[in-house]
Structure 1
């Protein structure tokens, strides 16, 4: 996030889409990440029903589901965490990394899901994946959709990803469009939703790569996508507080990293997304080893935040705010899953907090719209950790001058509106897009029954 309210790379793209949307469109993706909604906190069924009106989530995670797709050289594996691996290569391909200029030959195999019919014909789709990519391996995720008039999209690349950066540079792919829909960094979006065109179904395709002659393989544990159709709105109805609770989430400031490792989007000033991700990763008990952070200058505090920035960095977007890349980073820690979804209300968020699950949300606002923030932004991530007795939002805001200053309390009505709206006025009085409830959720690979019920209530399995 940039403290000054200047257009970010992603918000410029979002504004381009929003300009074409007169009515009924969800926003394009905003600068760096995630959002939620409005409510009372304890009605799990109600939260799930509210989300279902706007959002469709589908994920492939079980052995049966991995076996249900069309495999060319991939194989489903059972066990405590079922997944998909490269078994017998379907062939080889040369890939020239656009960010290094290096051309290498890779063995590959593919898996394609059956078509998934969206319960909510969508203006946007965002994928998530959780995978292990040992040295010498990487994956590609693609989507092909069916429009409401029966025509199909091309195969769109949603990400070329590796946990590390020694083999390829993880990257989104620009300039993908068929004149009716486009890929904006990590988000599929209908170009002009006012026409009524929607995406009614999609297939996902995984391609697993490895260096020829090795037995190494990626393992993909989770693949899914969130489709949504959020209506245009400058305001949302006020919710009724329903929960008082605060979770003990570690506090990290992005600001103390200002100027560090400028090759990763100008250093800590823009690291709201990985800083927030690292907070929740550590909340769940995951830790980086000294060996993993040994590359960080020992003079820098909190080397794990530098590490998170490096390993969420999207070399095409030139930033650390790629939503699926952050969720995938969280899932590189043993025992964690990560997804990108869209929540309907603060009720959904209270439901999660009540079950001990914090969330990462994305806001964009003028300095006068969020009391106590002290800045305006075209896109910024915070970690929501609880609610006060008055229903106000307790957030770990990484845009703080120190770790000690990270915990903030923001007024409920202000916060829910800047987070859930899809339209807003910037400091110049121009109409620009808002983020409309997108959210990162990180949770155990094996949730408790209670956690499983609560996640299902907000549409996540």
Structure 2
């Protein structure tokens, strides 16, 4: 059994404070999982399909013309969405955005619950020019309804709808906002195993290898290192040299002043999605079979996992870790570019992790991924509504 204790370690990639109500809920569900008979844990294909649709769901918005528009301070514009009906009842939300370079924004969200509406929570403040506007997550927003943990709105009770408010400057909103992504999760529902996509077994996408500790200050740079590898792959494939940046350049571009680190998920995808013709967002999946679908399509997937996957530990500090899934071997084990490998031992970033260990480590983030690809890419079919399909 893997144990993931909370730790506050400044400068690491992914430090998340686990609030008491979340800890209690996790303990209860873990206990129930242990005591329930095996017959209750086994489901037929139809039940598995339903569960895969009910645990997490994704909505991509390219058209914001239905958002109301008003003037804000300092030549800013305030955009408020209609109430958006989520595909599932949810208690966690991650918002992604792709905007043009030079645009700054404050992203807010509020939950529409059956009996009341929450306050607007600040999901992030974003800018590619921090001399002009901050790029930061906002701490200490907790109240009776929930809180924001870095980039994730966590509710104490499920909601059915959400409303988004964007305060932005630096461009015409209808042109500047290329894309919004809403990743909903019902943490009460457990992920289900899906049938493997064996067409991805034996296939490796040749993503360049990079190691975070090759750079001074790189100990907490697993996320920008993974992102820089991913963008370097697309740079080579599309002959677009402007996509290929060094690890320190990428870390600087997505640094979160509020977190004092580089592990803010939507900041990474916002940076990638600011490039012309690119879409990038955070979402959650149910099973490694869905990652296989993307590999079969020739698209690498950045995956948020437990840092134990690198050190092979099961106790002690675990701040999370980002790696790039680049393929699968002939047995279905997971081939990755892991930026956290030992530089002192001169290990390659290219590693193979057993399927079982990968699945355990991925649970740390409730199966979160970054999907980064050209808007014209042929992406895999999405039977469970776990990623964008608005092309």
Do the aligned partners of 2:139 and 2:148 also contact (CA within 8 Å) in 1? yes
Answer 1 or 2: which has greater helix percent. Answer: 2
- How high is the TM-score relative to the length of structure 1? 0.70
Shift of 1:248: 0.8
Confirm or deny that 1:112 pairs with 2:80. yes
Aligned match for 1:453, one of 348, 371, 381: 381
Aligned to 2:64: 66
Aligned to 2:332: 391
Aligned match for 2:295, one of 346, 353, 356: 353
Go from structure 1 to structure 2 and tell me whether the alpha carbon gap of 1:361 and 1:107 turns closer, same or farther (over 3 Å shift). Answer: same
Confirm or deny that 1:175 pairs with 2:140. yes
Aligned to 1:417: 360
Go from structure 1 to structure 2 and tell me whether the alpha carbon gap of 1:48 and 1:11 turns closer, same or farther (over 3 Å shift). Answer: farther
Do the aligned partners of 1:288 and 1:304 also contact (CA within 8 Å) in 2? no
Aligned to 1:226: 183
**Distance in 1 of aligned mates of 2:47 and 2:371:** 19
Aligned match for 1:122, one of 79, 84, 90: 90
**Distance in 2 of aligned mates of 1:119 and 1:217:** 25
Aligned match for 1:343, one of 285, 300, 305: 285
Aligned match for 2:374, one of 418, 441, 444: 444
Shift of 1:17: 4.9
Question: Does the residue aligned with 1:66 lie in a helix, a strand or coil?
Answer: coil
Pairs aligned (count): 360
Write the mapping of 1:112-261 to structure 2, written as runs, cut at 5 A.
112-134=80-102, 137-148=103-114, 150-191=115-156, 197-210=157-170, 219-231=176-188, 240=196, 242=198, 243-244=200-201, 245-257=203-215, 259=216
Aligned match for 1:13, one of 10, 13, 17: 17
Go from structure 1 to structure 2 and tell me whether the alpha carbon gap of 1:15 and 1:392 turns closer, same or farther (over 3 Å shift). Answer: farther
Go from structure 1 to structure 2 and tell me whether the alpha carbon gap of 1:25 and 1:118 turns closer, same or farther (over 3 Å shift). Answer: farther
Q: Which runs of 5 or more residues in structure 1 are unaligned?
A: 27-42, 73-89, 94-105, 192-196, 260-266, 293-301, 421-433
Do the aligned partners of 1:47 and 1:347 also contact (CA within 8 Å) in 2? no
Do the aligned partners of 1:239 and 1:346 also contact (CA within 8 Å) in 2? no
Do the aligned partners of 2:192 and 2:287 also contact (CA within 8 Å) in 1? no
Can you list the C-alpha shifts for 1:171-193, whole angstroms capped at 9, x where unaligned?
111111332211111110014xx
Question: Does the residue aligned with 2:117 lie in a helix, a strand or coil?
Answer: coil
Aligned to 2:275: 333
Shift of 1:437: 0.4
Can you list the C-alpha shifts for 1:81-112, whole angstroms capped at 9, x where unaligned?
xxxxxxxxx24x2xxxxxxxxxxxx2111222
- How high is the TM-score relative to the length of structure 2? 0.81
Q: Which runs of 5 or more residues in structure 2 are unaligned?
A: 1-5, 31-44
Question: Does the residue aligned with 1:284 lie in a helix, a strand or coil?
Answer: helix
Can you list the C-alpha shifts for 1:391-443, whole angstroms capped at 9, x where unaligned?
000010001245870000011111112213xxxxxxxxxxxxx2210111101
